[in-house]
Structure 1
Amino acid sequence: MDLTILYRGPLASCDYDCPYCPFAKRRDSGEQLRADRAALERFTAWAAAQTGDRLSVLFTPWGEGLVRSWYRRAIVELSQLPHVGRVAIQTNLSARTGWLTGAERDKVALWCTYHPGQTPYERFLGRCRELSDLGVRYSVGVVGLDDHLEEARRLRGALPDEVYLWINAAEGHSYTDAEADRWTALDPLFPYSRHPHSSAGLPCRTGESVISVDGEGTVRRCHFVRAELGNLYDGSYRRSLGPRGCPADVCDCHIGYVHLETLPLYDVFAGGVLERIPARRQTLDLSPVRLAER
């Protein structure tokens, strides 16, 4: 079975205090950190034992994972497993990158977010250059707030052409057509992020070939649907897997709507769905975007 897993353990602490994030500068206690480590090590051991499956894993922690040694170790270990095709993580790229030399770099990937005001621009850009030198696949993105526009333009000009710069619509923010055009000039796929996608009853890969897993092993179809499908560790989730329509009215997060079968994003991101890297950086076709907005 080919299975994509979105893993989100109890980790919630972050070293940044972005004003648009409810988990900014949250501190986990020592007990909470130990619980997160144990949960992640349990998940990694489970994944290592699934030799009859083909797995892809995206870590989507509420906090920043790569400042924790157990996330770095898990990524390296998973990348070395022959039945794991891809292991990726969402990160603010505040941690050093040298640990990636121990990973299988054709399997590991980073989904990096630049937060202006939280880290010096040159340090963030330097980390991106380190990833390029290491041969690690990565994408870079910015939240589409007015104050970030010039920094995003600066970053786009400095990154290699082959590195995709994505723009996330800010939560609760609406964009005029003129504003949207400015962001689309940087990210041709921004129109997908601009508006929530109607999803009620529409076919979605989540719950069939894509699942969400928390630190207890509870399996859900995705992070945004609370109904449980079973537990990862007793195998009870497997009998619940199958095609199903989305029970939510709308889907407004990329890690959710990318899996909608009514959108062409599996083709757009072919080979790079987890790390948000389009298949053809220079030849993005906007015609599906125009259709999706109607």
Structure 2
Amino acid sequence: MDLTVLYRGPLASCDYDCPYCPFAKRRDSGEQLRADRAALARFTEWVGAYEQGRLSVLFTPWGEGLVRSWYRRALVELSRLPHVERVAIQTNLSCRTDWLAEADLDRVALWCTYHPGQTPYERFLGKCRELSARGVRFSVGIVGLAEHLEDARRLRAELPEEVYLWVNAAEGHTYSDEEADRWTALDPLFPYSRHPHRSAGLPCRTGESVVSVDGDGTVRRCHFVPAELGNLYDGSYRAALAPRPCPLTLCDCHIGYVHLETLPLYDVFAGGVLERIPAGPGG
């Protein structure tokens, strides 16, 4: 069975402290970091031994993973497994990029977010240019706050044309049509992010061909539905995989609503669902 896994281990430390970020912020202790490293090693071992079909993996850490050597190593190792179709990670791109020389660039990808005020613009743009020069597959995005608009316009003007620039609607923010038009001029897919999507009772791929896994191996249909489907490591999750409607009223996060069958996003992002790269121009 082909499966997409969204992995989120216990890592929560981040080198940034964005005021708009919904993620928890803390400084992980040495013990917590060792626990995260061990959990990731267990997960990558499971991926390596998977024999039921092809796998796609997206790492969605609460903190920043790529400043940790074990995440960089995991992406390299998983990208070289023949049954792994894609391995990607969400990142602020504060890490170095030379480690990607060891990865299979046909399978590894980065979902990068620029955070104004947390890192100099030129430093972030320089990292993007390094990725382009290395031939790495990546997308770049920004949170759609008014104070970020000029930085977003600069990014769109200075990034290679083929690099998709996405814009996330700011959590809890209501956009006027005029504001939305400004962001849509930069990201034609911004309308999908502007409003939460009604999802209650609607078919979704999560829980069938897409699952969320935590550091203990607990499997859920997605990050936003707490009901457990079983455990990854004892195989108990397999019997629970089945089509099922969404139990939530709304879905407002891209890593959730991209899997709704009522939206056309699997076609829009064909071949690039995990790394948020559209199939058409700019993708």
Identify whether the pair has TM-score above 0.5, normalized to the shorter chain: yes
Q: What are the within-5 Å matches in structure 2 for residues 63-212 of structure 1?
A: 63-212=63-212
Matched, 1:215 2:215: yes
The alpha-carbon deviation at position 90 of structure 1 amounts to: 0.1
- Alignment correspondent of 1:21: 21
Is residue 200–residue 246 contact of structure 1 (8 Å, CA) maintained in 2?
Answer: yes
> In the aligned structure 2, how far is the partner of 1:270 from the partner of 1:22?
28
Q: Which amino acid aligns with 1:223?
A: H
Over the residues paired in the alignment, what is the CA RMSD in angstroms? Answer: 1.0
The alpha-carbon deviation at position 52 of structure 1 amounts to: 3.3
The alpha-carbon deviation at position 25 of structure 1 amounts to: 5.3
Q: Deviations over 1:226-272 (max 9, x none)?
A: 00000000000000001010000000000000000000000000000
What is the percent sequence identity of the aligned residues? 83
Q: Deviations over 1:185-235 (max 9, x none)?
A: 000000000000000000000000000000000000000000000000000
Q: What are the within-5 Å matches in structure 2 for residues 198-277 of structure 1?
A: 198-277=198-277
The alpha-carbon deviation at position 17 of structure 1 amounts to: 1.0
The alpha-carbon deviation at position 23 of structure 1 amounts to: 4.3
Q: Deviations over 1:132-163 (max 9, x none)?
A: 11111000000000000000000100001100
> In the aligned structure 2, how far is the partner of 1:262 from the partner of 1:59?
25
Is residue 9–residue 40 contact of structure 1 (8 Å, CA) maintained in 2?
Answer: yes
Q: Which amino acid aligns with 1:103?
A: A
Q: Which amino acid aligns with 1:145?
A: L
SS in 1 for 2:270: coil
Q: Which amino acid aligns with 1:219?
A: V
SS in 1 for 2:237: helix
> In the aligned structure 2, how far is the partner of 1:89 from the partner of 1:25?
18
> In the aligned structure 2, how far is the partner of 1:84 from the partner of 1:281?
26
Is residue 14–residue 24 contact of structure 1 (8 Å, CA) maintained in 2?
Answer: no
- Alignment correspondent of 1:2: 2
Unaligned runs of 5+ in 2: none
The alpha-carbon deviation at position 51 of structure 1 amounts to: 3.0
Q: Which amino acid aligns with 1:198?
A: R
The alpha-carbon deviation at position 26 of structure 1 amounts to: 2.1
Q: Which amino acid aligns with 2:113?
A: T
Q: Deviations over 1:101-144 (max 9, x none)?
A: 00001000000000001011111001001111111100000000
> In the aligned structure 2, how far is the partner of 1:25 from the partner of 1:256?
22
Matched, 1:31 2:51: no
> In the aligned structure 2, how far is the partner of 1:123 from the partner of 1:43?
32
The alpha-carbon deviation at position 22 of structure 1 amounts to: 4.5
Q: TM-score, normalised by structure 1?
A: 0.95
The alpha-carbon deviation at position 179 of structure 1 amounts to: 0.2
Unaligned runs of 5+ in 1: 285-294
> In the aligned structure 2, how far is the partner of 1:251 from the partner of 1:140?
22
> In the aligned structure 2, how far is the partner of 1:136 from the partner of 1:58?
16
SS in 2 for 1:6: strand
- Alignment correspondent of 1:289: none
Is residue 219–residue 229 contact of structure 2 (8 Å, CA) maintained in 1?
Answer: yes
> In the aligned structure 1, how far is the partner of 2:79 from the partner of 2:179?
40
Q: TM-score, normalised by structure 2?
A: 0.98
- Alignment correspondent of 1:287: none
